[in-house]
Amino acid sequence: TLTLALTTLTLTLTPSPFAHQPQPPSDGDDDDDGEEAELAEGNWLPLESNPEVLNGFATRVGLPKGWTFCDIYGVDKELLGMVPQPCAAVVLLFTSSKELKAFKDKQRKEIEEKGQELSKDLFYITQHDGIGNACGTIATIHAMANSTSLFKSEGVVKKFVEEWKGKTPSEIGYGLLKAKDIQEVSEDAAESKDAQTATPDREDNVNAHFIAFVNVGDVLYEMDGRKAFPINHGKTSEKSFLEDAAAVIKKNFFDVSPNGNFNMMALSKA
């Protein structure tokens, strides 16, 4: 196991670093747009939380040369200083827990009561039930599609974003179900020789989930396709983004679920 050194505590990363499609219904209100979408079972294989695996997938779907995923070993300043700059996005893998579920429910209620500002430039995908273990793929697309101030995605991600930009998150989520070109590359990456552990079966309930943090318009957003909406975490900048994202992750994940397993990766300039 890999130990993640933190400012105030030490957490051990999960020895089975796979993404998870949670079984309860999504927080997203799939019927809000008034359409009855027919859901085809996606049954995607989970991606391993491993830079080599994510890089293999991201490069094939349109991550431009010069950008790469790398490990983040902790949230203190010295460890964050090891991450190449600029950092375009942070991807977090965490194990589910009752503490995080309670925090998520409270967070949603507070935002629905108080409201929040969301950029019209966000590209946000709802992770529908039935797609399978797709959260690693969704987190990677969220990281790539929302980093346009630093680079422009190419290939199938560019095509997917252009086709679905302006649609609702729910519609985009259904669109991903039909994106067999993306699924094919994702599954090749899941079964890659770069994976350090055996790929779980499609039906396995792997108790971990991928999300992404991005900087859009100098605002830090949490992009979790299983939540009802992106989360606005306040002002940031290209220079402070990594430290700002790490602070939010520590406060809202590590501190909330101190016995949980976590893994972080940065999408950075190579």
What are the catalytic residues? 135, 209
| Cβ 228 vs Cβ 27: under 8 Å | yes
CA distances for 269 relative to 67, 88, 93, 132, 133, angstroms: 5, 8, 21, 31, 28
Name the burial class of residue 255, with classes exposed (0-12), middle (13-18) and buried (19+) by CB atoms within 10 angstroms of its CB. middle
| Cβ 219 vs Cβ 119: under 8 Å | yes
Note the residue count of the chain. 270
Helix (H) or strand (E) holding 213: strand 208-216
| Cβ 267 vs Cβ 99: under 8 Å | no
Would you call 163 helix, strand, or coil by DSSP?
helix
**Alpha carbon distance 243, 137 (integer Å):** 24
